[in-house]
Amino acid sequence: MKAVLDHVGIAVSDLQASLAFFRDVLGLHVEATEEIASQRVRATFLDTGHSTFELLEATSPDSPIAKFAEKRGPGMHHVALRVDDIEAALAHLRARGIRLIDDKPRPGAEGALVAFIHPSQAHGVLVELKQPAQKVQRFTTVGRHTLGSLELVTLSDGFFALDGGAMFGVVPRTLWEKRLPPDDANRIPLGMRPLIVRDGKTTIIIDAGCGDKMDSKSAQIYGLDRRYHLDHSLADAGLSGEDIDIVVASHLHFDHVGGFTKIGKDGALVPRFPKAKYIAHRAEWEDATHPHERNRASYLQENFVPLKDAGVLTLVDDGTEIVPGVRYRRSGGHTPNHQVLMIESGGKTAVFTADMYPTSVHIPDPWVMGYDLYPMDTLAFKRAFAREAVEREYLLFFEHDPSMAAGYLREKDGKRFVERLI
Ligand SMILES: [Zn+2]
Ligand SMILES: [Zn+2]
């Protein structure tokens, strides 16, 4: 198990007197104060860099902190270690015969789950295990929007996680971590949100998530969470794989087209949407089928070569209209031929932005992913596109945003922001 120091708990009998030392003399900043009813205690958190001091004051004479202070006087009460999975940590300790105070996790401060190890097991130290609350609200709901005569349905293939630094390129962590807090492995949660476009005759799906072929080692590296995946999402939208007529790829990275193929009954790879024709960009296909050291890990042949073998693949060029109102537009940058999808009907425009705006946090022009092969191309495209999106009120779809599927880019007093729709 991996444990990181989260905080040191200090029992105090007079909070104001203790703040006169910890805050005023030491200069530590008070982050928050919270009453934990179940423990009859008030906790005040002071920032100490990567961890905190938690000053604990009893709110009732029968509080464990009151009893502790009565017996031993104020002083250090416990140390808390942060773990990713508290149930797994408790199972690990139980299997080694370690005596626990809490057999099951219980609610702690800030929405965390906590459990204590008996001090006799930790050489006199009371040790708390803490699994922090998930800070980013993950959102999988199927969302519908009518655009002129088209119906748009945003779906979910679950979540994965990528290194936060790589997701924000040259932008320092201090700027992005508040918007998308990373886990202990520095990964930020990302959604996979394919989009359905229907015009009454034809049902199109744009991208299809990472699918179900990922091996367990990669699934661990990428923090894959597909407890709710594309099949569930299609069913919730009243659809199945059989209903899809056209499958379109923004580009051929695994987190966009892993769901294009599946392992068939005899173990061979087959198209996942049995009645669909698949569309990819011709030059992107060339790059994907001739990978180099820098892009090999993203272009997994199993996701797209079987489509060519099955005779269901059509390669097209820049600007191709896939059905009336839905067309490719080259953004480049991320890959040289990365495409966004322009969707137009009844004088309104929606844009599936794929990896150009992977999340709504990537709106500022220089917030470009470290993954992008040609970041200056991304920057140039974003600059022009953002102006267009504000002026013409484009509805933007964010394929990797963990908590927002779509919104409008607005500008007020020179500041850009996203007004969430779904
Ligand atoms: Zn990509
Ligand atoms: Zn991606």
- The alpha carbon of 107 is separated from its chain's Cα centroid by a whole number of angstroms, namely 24
Give CA separation, 398 vs 222, 256, 321, 334, in Å.
Answer: 19, 13, 21, 15
* The predicted structure's pLDDT at residue 99: 96
Do residues 261 and 307 lie in contact, with contact meaning Cβ atoms separated by under 8 Å?
yes
Q: How far apart are CA 360 and CA 86, in angstroms?
A: 31
What's this model's pTM, rounded to 2 decimal places? 0.74
Burial classification of residue 273, based on how many CB atoms lie within 10 Å of its CB (0-12 exposed, 13-18 middle, 19 or more buried)? buried
* The predicted structure's pLDDT at residue 351: 98
Pull the structure tokens for residue 185.
Answer: 């492995």
* The predicted structure's pLDDT at residue 135: 65
Ligand 1: centre distance to CA 351 (Å): 16
Ligand 2: centre distance to CA 256 (Å): 6
Ligand nearest to the CA of 399: 2
Ligand 1: centre distance to CA 257 (Å): 10
Ligand nearest to the CA of 252: 1
Ligand 1: centre distance to CA 154 (Å): 19
Ligand 2: centre distance to CA 254 (Å): 8
Ligand 1: centre distance to CA 71 (Å): 59
Ligand 1: centre distance to CA 191 (Å): 13
Ligand 1: centre distance to CA 253 (Å): 5
Do residues 350 and 395 lie in contact, with contact meaning Cβ atoms separated by under 8 Å?
yes
Ligand 1: centre distance to CA 396 (Å): 17
* The predicted structure's pLDDT at residue 414: 86
Ligand 2: centre distance to CA 134 (Å): 22
Ligand nearest to the CA of 335: 1
Ligand 1: centre distance to CA 168 (Å): 14
Taking only the tens of pLDDT, the chain with its 422 residues reads 889 999 999 999 988 999 999 999 999 988 778 888 878 898 898 988 878 999 999 999 999 999 998 999 999 999 999 998 899 999 999 999 999 999 999 887 767 899 999 999 999 999 999 998 766 777 777 999 999 999 999 999 999 999 999 999 999 999 998 889 888 789 999 999 999 999 989 999 999 999 999 998 899 899 999 989 999 999 999 999 999 999 999 999 999 999 999 999 999 999 999 999 999 999 999 999 999 999 999 999 999 999 999 999 999 999 999 999 999 999 999 999 999 999 999 999 999 999 999 999 999 999 999 999 999 999 999 999 999 999 999 999 999 999 999 999 999 988 999 999 99
Ligand 1: centre distance to CA 373 (Å): 10
Residues 342-397: tens digit of each pLDDT: 999 999 999 999 999 999 999 999 999 999 999 999 999 999 999 999 999 999 99
Residues 97-106: tens digit of each pLDDT: 999 999 999 8
Ligand 2: centre distance to CA 79 (Å): 39
Ligand 1: centre distance to CA 356 (Å): 9
Ligand 2: centre distance to CA 330 (Å): 16
